[in-house]
Amino acid sequence: MAEVTNDLIYENLKSMQGHLSNVDDKLAAIDGRLDSLTSQVRGLAMEMNGAHGDIANIYKILGRMDGRITRIEKRLDIIEEPAE
CA distances from 64 to 57, 61, 68, 81, 83 (A): 11, 5, 6, 17, 16
**Residue 82: its pLDDT value, please?**
52
pLDDT digits (tens, 9 = 90+) for 11-32: 899 899 989 999 999 999 999 9
**Residue 55: its pLDDT value, please?**
98
Confidence of residue 5 (pLDDT cuts 50, 70, 90): confident
CA distances from 37 to 40, 42, 43, 49, 51 (A): 5, 9, 10, 18, 21
Percent of the chain with pLDDT over 70: 92
Q: Please report the sign of the dihedral spanned by the C-alpha atoms of residue 35, residue 41, residue 46, residue 49.
A: negative
Does the reported pTM lie above 0.75? Answer: no
